[in-house]
Amino acid sequence: MKTKVTMGLAAILGALMIGTAPAEAQIQPHKSEIHVYAGELFGDDLSDKAVSGRKPKLDDDLTYGVRYGYDFTESWGLEVSGGYSASTAKDVPGGDTNFNLGILDVDAVWHFTPRARVVGYLIGGAGYAIGNLDHRIGGTVAGTPVSIGGDSGFTLNAGIGAKFFATKALMVRAEARYRYLDRLVDKLDASLDTVETTAGVGWVF
């Protein structure tokens, strides 16, 4: 996972270095943006205890979604996004089971190179995550039977990204962000420290 994340960050930073020449502002005040994206969500432990000798984990898997942003100034904007990942709970008794994860975020966006060919930005905010297991995870903890299902909780995120404007209205976007998930299961839950790397296209209107 660390290698993939490092490569994603290196690509974003490389794009920013290439596109630092001054230009007319790419980010326009009082404009809206709509984005579609896909990428990878890297998993973590779902439970703080082993169930039948193994700790259930959220697997690394595809994530995708849509984002809407509004730019108040050249530098500052607000973004609302909805994402979905059809992932898997692995290392569980009886074999892997499907784990569907939905995330809603509200984020502040700071464009730190709004006049460059490639617009670099920092993003951060909070939201809500809902986890849904196809089958409850059954097993024992210290000899006591347990049954674990999906649950929901708050999420926090922060990241860095780049927007390359092919035209004034069309852009290509790539980013990497750290994500904290408070809980995704209803028993023996553990907070998750995850990373997302995504790429997509966006339109300004």
In this prediction, residue 94 carries a pLDDT of 86
User: Over the stretch 152-185, which tens digit does the pLDDT of each residue have?
Assistant: 999 999 999 999 999 999 999 999 999 999 999 9
User: Could you tell me if 123 and 107 are in contact, meaning their C-beta atoms sit under 8 angstroms apart?
Assistant: yes
pLDDT score of 19: 46
The pLDDT assigned to 91 comes to 95
The predicted structure's pLDDT at residue 1:
57
Where does the pLDDT of residue 54 fall: very low under 50, low under 70, confident under 90, or very high at 90 and above? Answer: very high
Give percent above pLDDT 90 in the chain.
83
Question: What percentage of the chain exceeds 70 in pLDDT?
Answer: 88
**pLDDT for residue 63 is more than 60:** yes
Average pLDDT of the chain is 91
Q: Is residue 155 within 8 Å of residue 6, measured between CB atoms?
A: no
- Judged against a pLDDT cut of 60, whether residue 9 lies above it is answered with no
pLDDT for 8 equals 53
Average pLDDT over residues 108-116: 95
Residue with the larger pLDDT of the pair 21 and 38: 38
Domains annotated on the chain, with CATH: 2-204 (2.40.160.20)
Phi, psi of 17 (to 5 degrees): -65, -35
Q: What pTM was computed for the model?
A: 0.86
pLDDT at residue 81, rounded to an integer: 98
Exposure string for 93-128, b = 16+ CB within 10 A, e = fewer: eeeeeebebebebebebebebbebbbbbbbbbbebe
